[in-house]
């Protein structure tokens, strides 16, 4: 089955801890994205990547870091510098054919709670 | 700042009625538009994409695009209680590979 997997489904973080959220896709998509969603809010872009070993900051990158060492994987680290990390984190991927051939698909999400 | 605007709702419709969801966008050169459905606690799932002016139908769903007026809408015919969810409108930014999302419209279909 082709798709996007995220793990863990639920994650609890203590104050001052760094945690890493996993995102893997087997859709052969070039682009991958991380979003944050807070209750009753829309999606806010954290980071995105169009190619291996390259990524760009989104609108709310402070306190987060990513890597893209493999096409299939785009892990997100929530650092202790992120002061309010409790949220629903969504990973997405898309093709990069250009113009209107590209569509973005989402993984199931990771719900992060700070204790 | 490029924006996508949606009425947050809730939009309440009786079962069997047509639900009409609207979205406006600020970037006139946008080419690709998407509707996602998000159930509470779940991730967004793609319902439809549309690129050309006019209507695009898929089952009970019809997407409508009017580039001159910069709006895109989603009609859901014969609404069912299972359609109760938040509907997100998204526009692909042609200058980058980012997707810009509205805050979503919450739809409630009353049995």
Chain segment B12-37, per-residue pLDDT in tens: 999 999 999 999 999 888 889 999 99
Q: How far is B15 from chain A (nearest CA, A)?
A: 24
Contact A109, A89 (CB under 8 A): yes
- Closest CB to B103 among A33, A41, A106: A41
Place of tokens 């600020």: B26
Residue B63: per-residue pLDDT: 97
Segment holding B87, helix H or strand E: strand B85-92
Residue B98: per-residue pLDDT: 92
- Neighboring chain B residues of A100 at a CB cutoff of 8 Å: 31-32, 49, 51, 92
- Neighboring chain A residues of B101 at a CB cutoff of 8 Å: 42-43
Residue A22: per-residue pLDDT: 98
Instruction: Tell me the mean pLDDT in the region A45-52.
Output: 96
Residue A1: per-residue pLDDT: 61
Average pLDDT, chain A: 93
Q: How far is A50 from chain B (nearest CA, A)?
A: 8
Nearest CA in chain B to A108: B43
Q: Which of residues 65-104 of B touch A (CB under 8 A)?
A: 88, 90, 92, 96-99, 101-104
Interface test with B, best of A7, A30, A104 (most B CBs within 10 A): A104
Pairs from A64-72 (Cβ < 8 Å, separation ≥ 24): A64/A34, A66/A34, A68/A32, A71/A28, A71/A30, A72/A24, A72/A25, A72/A26
Pairwise CA distance, residues B45 & A3, whole Å: 12
What is the share, in percent, of chain A residues with pLDDT greater than 90? Answer: 77
Residue B77: per-residue pLDDT: 98
pLDDT band at A98 (very low <50, low <70, confident <90, very high): confident
Asked whether the beta carbons of residue A99 and residue B31 sit closer than 8 angstroms, the reply is yes
- Closest CB to A107 among B32, B43, B96: B43
pLDDT below 70 — which residues of chain B? none
Pairwise CA distance, residues A73 & A23, whole Å: 6
pLDDT band at A115 (very low <50, low <70, confident <90, very high): confident
Pairwise CA distance, residues A110 & B40, whole Å: 14
């Amino acid at each position: 089955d082709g798709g996007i997997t995220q793990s863990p489904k639920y994650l609890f973080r203590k104050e001052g801890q760094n945690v890493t959220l996993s995102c893997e896709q087997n859709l052969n998509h070039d682009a991958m994205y991380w979003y944050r969603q807070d209750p009753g809010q829309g999606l806010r872009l954290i980071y995105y990547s169009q190619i291996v070993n390259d990524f760009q900051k989104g609108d709310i990158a402070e306190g987060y870091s990513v890597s893209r060492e493999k096409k299939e994987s785009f892990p997100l680290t929530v650092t202790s510098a992120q002061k309010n990390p409790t949220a629903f984190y969504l990973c997405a991927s898309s093709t990069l054919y250009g113009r209107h051939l590209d569509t973005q698909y989402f993984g199931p999400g990771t719900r992060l709670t700070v204790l | 700042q490029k924006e996508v605007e949606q009425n947050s709702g809730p939009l309440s419709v009786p079962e069997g009625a047509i639900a009409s969801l609207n979205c406006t966008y600020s970037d006139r050169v946008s080419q690709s538009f998407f509707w996602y459905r998000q159930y509470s606690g779940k991730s967004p799932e793609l319902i439809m994409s549309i690129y050309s002016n006019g209507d695009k139908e898929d089952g009970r769903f019809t997407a409508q695009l009017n580039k001159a007026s910069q709006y895109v809408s989603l009609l859901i015919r014969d609404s069912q209680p299972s359609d109760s969810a938040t509907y997100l409108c998204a526009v692909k930014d042609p200058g980058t590979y980012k997707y810009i999302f509205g805050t979503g419209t919450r739809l409630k279909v009353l049995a």
